[in-house]
A = this chain, B = another copy of it.
């Protein structure tokens, strides 16, 4: 009877604010603790992150933040970011926005009326709105649990994914650590000179409204632990209060011996399927009840230093 009622909700044309269909989580009894799955994943479950996709933010404090770029989703913006890093465009970069439960943002952070440096050669000044891409070619693995923002969510090519089979569009959702391109009002899409990373509960309302270009894979705590900016939206108005960045570079440009090397878990691997199952059904002596589900931002793709 319950199921029939739920089915009727779906069969009816859904008004915008209708009760969502009930979904009954069913915990799995054979789930393995995610940390164990990660530790035991075989070598073939991991893929190298190309140094060409690895952006390194070296804070003046000596701490490093590593970001994996996602040309799969935003090739023009990613090409711009590489060019900014390589050209010295970021002449005196800093973290100039720290908004609690939202984002950390950095770049040159020119003041209103300030003079931005000329764009490096090859940079596309007005990139297309890479707020998503065709679903075709991604072969995503559905997460298997419902989402409040998209018809379907899951993973593809080592990334979280949200998609709409009807429109054929897919996008990299805003999860903790997701990196996006700051922009002004549409149709401006941002050049990639000013970037942010999500530092709070997933602000999925930004999905399909901004170019998401990557994710922080190491050292994010050096950004998130900074004092929140006191101005509106967490901006840090006073230049001396900003968090200075010594250097932004591509790992590919470092001498091989100095390059950090990372791997991410293949999202089409059996290990990853087991990992997601474990995230949805936490076991061990602490958990009395298993959720039987997990949201796409609470099952981050495992990343490790290359062993």
Contact = CB atoms under 8 A, between A and B. Distances in A.
Given A220-B100, A287-B209, A298 B19 contact: no
A21 B14 contact: no
Contact of A291 (B18, B131, B204): B204
Contacts of A152: 22
Interface stretch (A52-60, A79-87, A141-149): A141-149
B149 A20 contact: no
Nearest to A230: B221
Contact of A282 (B205, B295, B297): B205
A293 interface: yes
Q: Is the interface on chain A under 10, 10 to 19, 20 to 34, or 35 or more residues?
A: 35 or more
Interface stretch (A38-46, A195-203, A249-257): A195-203
B149 A294 contact: yes
Contacts of A297: 201
Nearest to A277: B17
Interface stretch (A4-12, A89-97, A259-267): A4-12
A95 to B, nearest CB: 12
Given A146-B23, A201-B202, A221 B225 contact: no
A209 B289 contact: yes
Interface stretch (A24-32, A65-73, A106-114): A24-32
A101 interface: yes
A156 B25 CA distance: 22
A269 interface: no
Given A7-B11, A20-B143, A225-B228, 13 more contacts: A4-B11, A10-B21, A16-B27, A17-B28, A23-B146, A100-B224, A146-B147, A147-B148, A201-B297, A204-B294, A204-B295, A207-B291, A208-B289
Nearest first, the 3 closest Cβ-Cβ pairs linking A and B are A146-B146, A16-B28, A145-B148
28 contacts: A2-B166, A7-B10, A17-B277, A19-B142, A19-B144, A20-B145, A20-B147, A21-B21, A22-B152, A23-B146, A25-B149, A25-B151, A100-B225, A101-B177, A101-B224, A146-B146, A147-B148, A148-B298, A149-B293, A200-B200, A201-B201, A201-B298, A202-B298, A204-B298, A207-B291, A209-B288, A209-B289, A225-B225
